[in-house]
Amino acid sequence: EVQLVESGGSVVKPEGSLTLSCAASGFTFSKAWMNWVRQTPGKGLEWVGRIKRKNEGGATDYAAPVRGRFTISRDDSKNTLYLQMNSLKVEDTAVYYCTTDCSASGCYGDGVFGPWGQGTLVIVSS
């Protein structure tokens, strides 16, 4: 069974920093493109960014609102995905999910999010 478990959510002040983690199991993590998606009551679901496989250079891509402030990385030896968030803004307040297009039986294709974690809440407030 695929499991994605996020952690690290907290209350942080504007302009602060925070790192989220996502521990993965039940599929070949090193072969998966991994994504972060966030959810707010006001804006709904919003794709944040993704990271490709190491053998593809671990290339990253980000949504415009977070580009230059957020950094996605991965540690395949630990089956863990990270989201480093800097210069946080009030509008970054959300539940952050990690997700992938891969399941235990295979991958659906880029942009189709199969397994999701339970999410971790980030609140940016003074």
Partner 1 sequence: EIVMTQSPDTLSVSPGERATVSCRASQSVGSNLVWYQQKPGQSPRLLMYGASTRATDVPARFSGSGSGTDFTLTISSLQSEDFAVYYCQQYSRWPPWTFGQGTRVEIK
Binding site residues, partner 1, CB under 8 A: 44-47, 61-64, 97, 103, 105, 108-114, 116-119
Least distance (Å) from partner 1 to the CB of residue 13?
Answer: 27
Hey, what are 73's tokens? 């990385």
Q: Which is nearer to partner 1, 61 or 76 (CB)?
A: 61
Least distance (Å) from partner 1 to the CB of residue 77?
Answer: 26
Q: Which is nearer to partner 1, 27 or 97 (CB)?
A: 97
Hey, what are 30's tokens? 């090193």
Q: Which is nearer to partner 1, 91 or 110 (CB)?
A: 110
| C-beta of residue 72 within 8 angstroms of C-beta of residue 60 | yes
Least distance (Å) from partner 1 to the CB of residue 102?
Answer: 12
Distances (CA, A) of 121 to 9, 10, 19, 26, 33: 5, 7, 12, 24, 23
Please write down the HEC assignment for all residues of 76-90: CCCCEEEEEECCCCH
- Tell how strand 94-100 and strand 34-40 pair up: antiparallel
